[in-house]
Amino acid sequence: MSFPVDTGDKQEYPLATTRVGRKKWWVGAIAVLLTGFGVYAGYMFLGHGTRAVAQGPAFQPKFPVVAVAAKTGDIHTYITGLGTVTALNAVTVHTRVDGEIVKVLFKEGEIVKTGALLVEIDPRPYEAALLQAEGQLARDKALLENARLDLKRYETLAAQDSIPMQTKDTQISLVHQYEGTVKYDQGLVDIAKLNLVYSHITSPLTGRIGLRLVDPGNIVHTTDTTGIAVITQEQPITVIFPIPEDSLQSVLKKLKAGEKLQVEAFDREQKQKVATGRLLTADNQIDTTTGTVKLKALFTNEDGSLFPNQFVNARVLMETMVGVTMVPSAAVQRSPKGTYVYLVKEEDQTVTVRWVKIGAVEGDSVSIAEGLSPPERVVVEGAERLKEGSKVEMQTPGADSSGKASR
């Protein structure tokens, strides 16, 4: 029992307040202990449960992949370069006499034969010059003949001592003079005939003629620089392409041995073969700015697939390796340690890493020098998610991850 304390205004009960505070403290302590026990029990329960799950059997997914078997075949080694198609012969047709163009007898872009008449220049001035030269020649020939007859008479009279020897010698000189004049006249006749021939311009070779550079009615001169037309020989035709200087000796060795090296020309994308020819020769010096040397190949070009100044990808067949192990290039994986493939183990449908040594590459195929032999199967699609021991599920080429063929 507590007694009130007189404070003047209020009456307080300090003893009762102290006991109530002590009860609240004990109640709080018990609550804290119960809460801690619950947390500990939950932790222990969840921890043991997690360990139980971790110690249970692991689930290993199957990765869809496409695999192919290694095979034995032949593979070729090439030296390649970006080349330019070059006409074997190219001629700019010029006039060799001055005059007016009266006829153009070719069609632009057509194939012209050697000796075909292309352009006719007005021949009348040259016909007149020829006629004049022939007349001069006939006159001087008559003078020469008369001088020779006189010489025979003088020789007879000189033998009879009827005329001075000086008269005979003078006549001999006159005959020689007329002989020289006749030769000079014959030269003028030949020049006039040649100019008349030159007034008819013919093709110097068989090839494709380009666009007309001068129209009919124009006056052309021998000093003109543009010419009348350009003719390019396309059958046969050549391709000039550079190769690295390090490859030159192997090429020269085969050329010196008399081997006929095959050269193939492909389009810009290197997908379609345009033509097949043979290597002619190599240039006589190396380009120091690029470290390359030019090769020249000859193509028959019977179908006209190669065109002058066309860009092509040329490659020289250097060697054919027979009976090597081959796989698609997509099967080869690379790492800092080297090259490897994912080999499919048939017994449990898992993959293992197989380190390999690769050889020559041709198109989408690569030769395997060491580490693989037919008919072992390697992964060509889906290798990006694999690791040692991964389980795989075989798919057909072009199928998606669900195994359905993609459209």
347 falls within a domain: yes
Q: How buried is residue 293: exposed, middle or buried, by Cβ count under 10 Å (0-12/13-18/19+)?
A: buried
Domain of residue 352 covers 64-74+322-394
Asked whether the CA dihedral 251, 255, 261, 265 is positive or negative, the reply is: positive
Residues 29 and 68 in one domain: no
Classify residue 59: in a domain, yes or no. Answer: no
Question: Are both 131 and 187 inside the same structural domain?
Answer: yes
Residue 129 sits in the same domain as residue 203: yes
- Could you tell me if 97 and 219 lie in one domain? yes
Residues 116 and 216 in one domain: yes
Residue 336 sits in the same domain as residue 240 = no
Bond preceding residue 204 cis, omega within 30 of 0: no
- Residues 119 and 82 occupy one common structural domain: no
- Number of structural domains (the chain) is 4
Domain check: are 180 and 198 in the same one? yes
44 and 139 share a domain? no
Per-residue pLDDT of the chain (407 residues), as tens digits, is 444 444 444 444 444 444 444 555 555 556 556 565 554 545 444 444 444 444 444 567 889 999 999 999 998 889 999 999 999 999 999 999 999 999 999 999 999 999 999 999 999 999 999 999 999 999 999 999 999 999 999 998 988 888 888 999 999 999 999 999 999 999 999 999 999 999 999 999 999 999 999 999 999 999 999 999 999 999 999 999 999 999 999 999 999 999 999 999 999 888 899 999 999 999 999 999 999 999 999 999 999 999 999 999 999 999 888 999 999 999 999 999 999 999 999 888 899 999 999 988 887 899 999 999 999 999 999 989 898 989 999 887 755 544 444 44
Q: b vs e for 255-269, b when ≥16 Cβ sit within 10 Å of the residue's Cβ?
A: beeeeebbbbbbeee
Residue ending a domain, among 321, 355, 378, is: 321
Q: Please check whether residues 188 and 223 belong to one and the same domain.
A: yes
CATH number where 182 lies: 2.40.50.100
Would 406 be classed as within a structural domain?
no
Closest to 379 (Cα-Cα) out of 59, 72, 74, 63 = 63
Rounded to an integer, what distance in angstroms lies between the CA atom of residue 348 and that of residue 89? 67
Tokens 């872009």 belong to 109
Residues 117 and 190 in one domain: yes
* Residue 144, SS3 per DSSP: helix
Contacts of 224 (CB under 8 A, 6+ apart): 94, 95
